[in-house]
Structure 1
């Protein structure tokens, strides 16, 4: 068994324990297992980059860090102040994903025959319909503006994922990862602003980490010569 598969099994194992700890153990134990999951996600990525750490990799590691901070505030999301910090942290995390997908870094993978609107309109439309018909009526006034930024930012992330060239490795994983992120965000929004639903925490955590693994593997296929067989265009001058 390869180290990658071994770590994936550990992620599933620790995710199961983390979910269990959420219901039956003190919060600090739950936070500990969340930290373990973030470390495992880091190792899942790190062990596949052939020992060459470029700045794009560091940027991805920052997404893991801000995602972990967001998980902590998700645990303590009983008031509007914590919800504001939670939304801000996810804004930073998604902005880092956008930085990894923007044409400056993936310019050789972009299809120049289509512009941002032509390829990104599905996400742009869905994101704003979701805000107009769901979020606008349930979010507190204190985070209304942040929520508008969040929806707009997420539509940009989805658009950039669709703009990746079809014939390049990694696109399918990235697109699927962004779709799963959107599902995770919808479920989390319902959980935070409306209330729990059957098996809500279990479903949210499973979907959330599925999106993390999909995005990590998609980015790996894009930047790793050994996996993709392509020339690595993410050099030290990209960021």
Structure 2
């Protein structure tokens, strides 16, 4: 007769040897704490080394930036010194331009009531009918021309003076034509034929005309010169 014996399993082992499966960590707490402390120290040392490395890198970067800024400052100072030296060469020109500008501005103020008399007389001659000759031409300007005290013409245009003309034309109708022509000239208003007469022989007309002058006769050429001088000076 054959008898089969089962291999002893884990249950049988536990049954035959009680306490065999119990596991206990008998490492002393001091040793565990020491190991944890060593790991923590390594981590702290690594973190400190990283911080030191970052600080060193930041210092090197800042030093390079400072050096670059100092180089730029030195270059700018050299350029500024060079430009100042070049500018000193033209100081006389700049002073002359300033003096010229000041004189031109003063001249503009002084000559604000400038009138081109020769040009105005030439326009009067050009407007005269053919065959007209002048016997006298008188222009009288107010002492305060253009100012409020000088009065106005028509309540708007400042009156600056008066015009008196006398002459001889071929026909009486030419006098009326000339009055109309004078009325059309800029700065001439209230044109009035004060006297006129015609000779029996040949029909020639002798006349006298008066008119008022307004500020439209001002040339403003010195004001334009002052403006141009100011713009030219501002470009330097």
Q: TM-score, normalised by structure 1?
A: 0.21
**Greater C-alpha radius of gyration:** 2
Q: TM-score when scaled to structure 2?
A: 0.21
Choose between structure 1 and 2: higher strand proportion.
2
| Higher relative contact order (Cα pairs below 8 Å, separated by 6+ residues) | 1
